[in-house]
Structure 1
Amino acid sequence: MPSANRMSTPVAVDADQIEGRYAPLGGYTVGFETYKQDVDPAPFFAGLPGDRCQCPHWGVVTGGRLTFRWPDREETYVAGDAYFAPPGHLPLVTAGTSIVEFSPTEELAATMAVVEKNLLAAGVQS
């Protein structure tokens, strides 16, 4: 059975705001993310339907605070909380937050293609 561990999964993203480690798990991607700064990535979802993340996520907050915003509500999770974020959300993350998150690989790849294009255009990623 496939598995992943935060410490043995290579760092894929090491930016000022985030360290991310990602591993495939049978049609899903597990992400181990640690946020070094407050992050509001809303502008980077521009171009997706509703300019919002279209990928569902299941996860656990292992430290800090994570908020998901939908047009009609917000939900905030803190260390120890498990969550499900259906499509149509925007995340808001505080410095010091760490999560373990599972996302369908195909939906995640489609969303991240748009996000990465926007990051590149903004000069945040090379």
Structure 2
Amino acid sequence: SSEYLDVREDPVKGITVAGISEFSADSAAEVMDLLLAGNRNRTQEPTDANQTSSRSHAVLQVTVQEKEKGQGVQAKFHVGKLSMIDLAGSERASQTNNRGIRMIEGANINRSLLALGNVINALADRSK
């Protein structure tokens, strides 16, 4: 999708991406099919540095739910969540020779990577 998606904290789901597409899968093979389909939908454009440069970040979040054997509403659920994120690489306009829309994309990619770095640094400082 070419639209911007925001990361949010949901009281029920935890950290989530607003507007993310959600699918159900019954097997690991179905999860892989979804991963491949999502990867095909990623925006890629050639630059001087990389012929198949990713122009977007990608998030795959797999949630596994297991219901304990039990009766009715007393049955317990166990939930595990795995988030996999593939970030577009940072870019130097001087190395990619990007102009126009590619240069704007590169600046947006760099801005989002800087924001992520700031969050990681803030979390690291808070844990000291």
TM range (shorter): under 0.3
> TM-score of the superposition, structure 1-length normalised?
0.24
> TM-score of the superposition, structure 2-length normalised?
0.24
Higher relative contact order (Cα pairs below 8 Å, separated by 6+ residues) = 1
Q: Of the two, which has the highest radius of gyration?
A: 2
- More strand by proportion, 1 or 2? 1
- More helix by proportion, 1 or 2? 2
